[in-house]
Amino acid sequence: MAERDRWALWLPVAFALGIGLYFALTVEPPLWLGFAGMLAAVGLFAAFRHGPRGPALGLLVLALTAGFFAAQARSVLVGAPILEKRLGPVWISGEIEALEPRAKGARLTLRELEIARLEPAATPLRVRVVAQSGTDGLRPGERVRLRAVLRPPPGPSAPGAFDFARRAYFQRLGAVGFAYGAVRTAPPPAGSENSDTASFVAAWATAWAGLRADLARRILSVLPGRAGAVAAALMTGERGAIAEADIAAMRDSGLAHLLAISGLHVGLVAGLLFLGLRLAMAAVPPLALSYPIKKWAALGAVGGAFAYLMLTGATIPTQRAFLMVSLVFLAVMLDRSAISMRLVAWAAFVVLVLAPESLLSASFQMSFAAVIALVAAYETLRERHNLRGAMPGALRRAGLYLAGVALTSLIAGLATAPFALYHFNRIAWFGLAANLLAVPLTGLWVMPWALIAFCLMPLGLEGFALTPMSWGIEGMLGVAHRVAAWPGATSVIPAMPILGLVLVALGGVWLCLWRRTWRLAGVPVVLAGLLSVPLSDPPDILVTGDGSLMGLRGPDGALVLSSAARQRFSADTWRRRLGETETSVWPKAGDGTGDWLRCDPLGCIYRSGDHVVALVRDSRALIDDCAVATLVVARVPVRRGACPGGPRTLDRFDLWRGGAHALWLEEGAVRIETAAQYRGRRPWTPKRGL
**Separation of CA 129 from chain center:** 20
Same domain, 242 and 295: yes
Please tell me the distance from the alpha carbon of residue 524 to that of residue 507, in angstroms, as a whole number.
8
Give yes or no for a contact between 150 and 175, defined as CB atoms under 8 angstroms apart.
yes
Same domain, 546 and 649: yes
More confident residue, 136 or 295: 295
Please tell me the distance from the alpha carbon of residue 230 to that of residue 447, in angstroms, as a whole number.
12
Q: Which residues pair with 593 in a beta bridge?
A: 597
Indicate if the pLDDT at residue 614 is higher than 60: yes
pLDDT tier at 322, thresholds 50, 70, 90:
confident
Q: 597: left (phi > 0), else alpha (psi -120 to 50), else beta?
A: beta
Q: What confidence tens digit (pLDDT) does each residue in 417-426 have? A: 899 889 988 8
Q: Tell me which of 508, 535, 562 is where a domain ends.
A: 535
**Mean predicted confidence (pLDDT) in 566-578:** 86
Same domain, 294 and 236: yes
Give yes or no for a contact between 402 and 408, defined as CB atoms under 8 angstroms apart.
no
Residue 301 domain-assigned?
yes
Reference 326, options 312, 346, 311; nearest CA is 346
Query: In Å, how far are 138, 180, 183, 499 from 145, measured between CA atoms?
Result: 12, 11, 6, 46
Residue 27 domain-assigned?
yes
Residue 371 domain-assigned?
no
Residue 329 domain-assigned?
yes
Reference 413, options 434, 399, 397; nearest CA is 434
Q: What is the pLDDT of residue 387?
A: 46
Same domain, 545 and 527: no
Same domain, 473 and 574: no
Helix (H) or strand (E) holding 416: helix 393-424
Residue 453 domain-assigned?
yes
Residue 432 domain-assigned?
no
Indicate if the pLDDT at residue 19 is higher than 90: yes
Q: What confidence tens digit (pLDDT) does each residue in 123-163 have? A: 999 999 999 888 888 888 889 999 999 999 999 999 989 99
Lowest-confidence pick of 6-15, 437-446, 577-586:
577-586
Residue 212 domain-assigned?
no
Same domain, 607 and 633: yes
Reference 270, options 447, 470, 407; nearest CA is 447
Q: What is the pLDDT of residue 66?
A: 94
Domain tally for the chain?
A: 5
Same domain, 560 and 645: yes
What percent of the chain lies above the pLDDT cut of 90? Answer: 35
Same domain, 26 and 169: no
**Mean predicted confidence (pLDDT) in 383-396:** 56
Q: Tell me which of 20, 47, 77 is where a domain ends.
A: 77
Q: What is the pLDDT of residue 219?
A: 93
Please tell me the distance from the alpha carbon of residue 143 to that of residue 192, in angstroms, as a whole number.
12
Q: Tell me which of 535, 558, 590 is where a domain ends.
A: 535
Q: If you average pLDDT over every residue of the chain, what do you get?
A: 86
pLDDT tier at 690, thresholds 50, 70, 90:
very low
Range list of β-strands (E), 254-361: none
Q: What is the pLDDT of residue 337?
A: 63
More confident residue, 50 or 90: 90
Same domain, 12 and 59: yes
**Domain CATH code at residue 135:** 2.40.50
Query: In Å, how far are 249, 444, 507 from 244, measured between CA atoms?
Result: 9, 26, 36
**Mean predicted confidence (pLDDT) in 646-666:** 88
Same domain, 45 and 124: no
**Mean predicted confidence (pLDDT) in 377-383:** 78
Q: What is the pLDDT of residue 230?
A: 93
pLDDT tier at 389, thresholds 50, 70, 90:
very low
Same domain, 459 and 514: no
What is the residue range of 52's domain? 4-77
Q: What confidence tens digit (pLDDT) does each residue in 334-364 have? A: 877 666 788 888 888 988 999 999 999 988 8
Same domain, 227 and 352: yes
pLDDT tier at 444, thresholds 50, 70, 90:
confident
Q: What confidence tens digit (pLDDT) does each residue in 194-236 have? A: 545 556 777 787 888 888 888 988 998 999 889 999 999 999 8
User: What residue type is 661 in one-letter code?
Assistant: H
pLDDT tier at 394, thresholds 50, 70, 90:
low
Residue 384 domain-assigned?
no
Give yes or no for a contact between 93 and 111, defined as CB atoms under 8 angstroms apart.
no
